Amino acid sequence: MNSAWAFIEVCPQTRSAIEELTHKYDDFTRHRIRKLKGFVDKLQDNDHFYYFNEMKASVVERRTAIDCIKVMKEGYVPFPMIHNKAFEHYSKLNILFEFHSYGYDGIESWVGNENEDNRVCRFCGKSRPDVTFNQKAHAIQEALGNKLLFCFDECDACNHNLAPIEDLFRRLMDFRRAMYHIPRKETTRTPTVLGKQFIIKADLDGSPVLYIMEEELPAGVDKTKPFFYHLEMGNPITDEGLYKALCKMVIDLIPAKELPHFENTIKWIKSNGDWFVDSLPSALCSVFTDDEVPFKQPVLDIMVNNRGILKNSPYCTAVLWIYDIAYMFSVPLTDVDAGKYKYDDDLKSHWQLMGDLIGIHHWVKQGTSNRHLSTPWVNWEIDPSSPNVKILPNNHPVFLETIRHEKENSDIRMPAFVTYGITLNRVAKSTFEVLYDGKVTEADLRDITQETLFPVFTIDKVLRTVSVQMQATAYDTTYRIPFFSFSFNVIFDINSFEKYINVEYDEQATITFAFHVELRNYLFDFALAAAECQLSMRRKGTQFEKCSLDKMKDRDCILEHAVYLVPSADGRKYITVKDNAIHRKCYLN
């Protein structure tokens, strides 16, 4: 092909040339060249293989070769049409973007600084001796089948702290990784996966068996023929968590020179309720219909828009190829994008372009902004005649784990909520401070980024009041320039206190606490409205006069990270209770 690679047909002349090379360079290579001879000796005449100069061959040439090898395995010699088509496909990507691809060639890849003493963690920015790099940091979780992709520059602390984010994507993939029998660490047995109406368990050989509750099947389904079934998983996830997990893979593998553009992305990935992004674009998902699973080893393509060619595309787009699915997503919050691609409408032309470039035109949007826990699901073709599918009564012992798990996570009804008897006591405090005196346009204010400290609900059981406090700082879209800050403290009288708020103590002064979720929402909205009356006057005459609290987005996201200050049994201190500790389930008074 060129000085970087060659496409070689096995024939007597090839064998003779390899024999000559082996004899000539055997001592120089310390006998390693014999591996090449051994490889060729196993091939038949008229077989083909690629030979690369590792230092010169580009990702375009390597990806072209891999595609052609797949065609050769089907019994075809892929020249010239298939080769040229593949080469043109990857060349286009590499012309428009700086194109990086990992995991496609069976070769182990480590990204980052090999020298441990010179490593700087990509997520916390620390280096030795403040942090250690002893763990093998998988860029994609090993449980997902990743055996090849690793990051030198992820410290042990961040590797541990970010594991729960990665686990969210693994939960989404649990069904597929079990049914496709994806190899796991130190075992070849299929993992046990619990669903709401099914369980996957390993048989004696370690292979997956899908057990389905007969009573849960749709009425009228014919159990003698294959049918599609909507299966709900048992463990909840969040859409935003999935998006963070995908973007973490990119941060682990993107070249180090690009990391300064992703400071806010990294901050968002690491944030655990202390930083909120007001809007995130959807990711796209496509499912293949191949009989085989094409990507048991996940493959990640990263396209960096730094060529200066595409003016209406985000700075970084990635595609994760895993099992029989492709996920395409833009990486948010880069300084180059400056908030431009926060909404789906801003990405329409880009997704059209990417669909054409990648060759997949059917994509399904996957929301990424929702922070509510919800159970993932999969539509799966069930073949009752398959030996790895068992349809059994729900009282069968195999479902004991599933039923126990469902009871532990079931919701409880809460009492009906009415607003009667809830009145505003007073706005105890409100502040507004301008932090930027430069020129601000309407466009600058359209998509400001707001850092909100979690709302605090302070409970007074004696006075039967609840105060709502919050403070926030608004920045420009790049999160570099602080525009203004504000705070408020609004107090409410709750005549129906015991109906919606439960504070009890046992003999050891241990607290039991519940707070009606609809009361929480109502008080927060009421507090915003009451505080806005004062804050609007404080903003008057400033360049931020139009930035009213009624434009505050994603109330649910903010409230999921609220905290409650509940008086202790002796009334001498407050006990802090997080919202997600009491509102995972509703309660019945």
* CA atoms of 187 and 488, how far apart (whole Å): 55
In this predicted structure, the answer to whether residue 75 has a pLDDT above a threshold of 80 is no
User: Residue 124: what pLDDT?
Assistant: 96
What are the residue ranges spanned by the domains of the chain? 5-96, 196-232+376-409, 422-582
* CA atoms of 142 and 169, how far apart (whole Å): 12
In this predicted structure, the answer to whether residue 576 has a pLDDT above a threshold of 60 is yes
* CA atoms of 206 and 188, how far apart (whole Å): 7
In this predicted structure, the answer to whether residue 515 has a pLDDT above a threshold of 50 is yes
585 band by pLDDT with thresholds 50, 70 and 90:
very low
Question: What mean pLDDT do residues 167-191 have?
Answer: 89
Per-residue pLDDT of 218-227, as tens digits, reads 888 898 899 9
In this predicted structure, the answer to whether residue 587 has a pLDDT above a threshold of 50 is no
* CA atoms of 412 and 405, how far apart (whole Å): 15
Question: What mean pLDDT do residues 229-242 have?
Answer: 89
User: Residue 338: what pLDDT?
Assistant: 85
* CA atoms of 201 and 570, how far apart (whole Å): 51
Question: What mean pLDDT do residues 343-353 have?
Answer: 94
Cis peptide before 80 (omega within 30 of 0): yes
214 band by pLDDT with thresholds 50, 70 and 90:
very high
User: Which of the residue ranges 2-6, 86-90, 392-396, 466-470 has the most confident prediction, judged by mean pLDDT?
Assistant: 466-470
- Tell me the longest C-alpha to C-alpha distance in the chain: 96
* CA atoms of 462 and 315, how far apart (whole Å): 55
Any idea how long the chain is? 589
Per-residue pLDDT of 413-454, as tens digits, reads 567 889 999 999 999 999 999 999 988 888 778 777 777 778
Per-residue pLDDT of 551-572, as tens digits, reads 665 677 788 778 999 998 888 8
Number of C-alpha atoms within 13 angstroms, CB side, residue 104? 21
* CA atoms of 115 and 254, how far apart (whole Å): 18
User: Residue 444: what pLDDT?
Assistant: 79
Question: What mean pLDDT do residues 131-136 have?
Answer: 95
DSSP 8-class letter at 282: P
Contact 500, 431 (CB under 8 A): no
pTM of this structure? 0.82
Torsion from C-alpha of 336, 340, 341, 347, nearest 10 degrees: -110
In this predicted structure, the answer to whether residue 411 has a pLDDT above a threshold of 60 is no
